[in-house]
Amino acid sequence: MNTTTINSLSQIKNAYELNKNHVRIISNNLTLNIIKSLYKEGLILSYFKEEGTYNSFLNIYLRYLDNETPFLSLKIISKPSREIRLKTYEIYKLSEKQSVFVFSTSKGILNSLDCKKQKLGGILLFICV
């Protein structure tokens, strides 16, 4: 995972901690796929892509449930210098109680349940608790 994506995830987490309604981050393909996965999981309300002169941006609207954030903590596992790869049988051992595990696989960015359904392993990117 590149540093732009790590910074974008940190911006989203910080916006949740400050109770903001939306956040604007720099977009790349990996970041866009991760945001799609977070939207599918219900951790963000909506998003749209905005084309700029030099960069494209993502405007992300944050979701709050009873004034509480679903994005309590973010643990980035794979960094540019270290990738954690898990095989399918290792993914089955993960405890998914109120946690979302996000993987980079050969089929794209998937959560742990989708990895189990498709019987895929991959690089563990981050965990949302």
Higher pLDDT, 64 or 96: 64
Q: How far apart are CA 118 and CA 2, in angstroms?
A: 26
For the segment 42-80, what is each residue's pLDDT rounded down to a tens digit? 889 999 999 877 889 999 999 988 877 877 788 999 888
pLDDT value, residue 38: 92
Strand partners for 62: 44
CA 33 to chain centre: 8
Nearest CA among 9, 70, 84, 13 for reference residue 42? 70
Helix, strand, coil percentages (3-state) for the chain, rounded to 5, are: 30, 35, 35
- Domains assigned to the chain: 3-62 (3.30.1370.30), 74-128 (3.30.1490.10)
How confident is the model over 21-29, as a mean pLDDT? 93
What's the predicted TM-score (pTM) here? 0.88
Task: Give the pLDDT band (50/70/90) at residue 9.
Answer: very high
How confident is the model over 78-91, as a mean pLDDT? 91
Q: How far apart are CA 57 and CA 122, in angstroms?
A: 27
Q: How far apart are CA 39 and CA 102, in angstroms?
A: 12
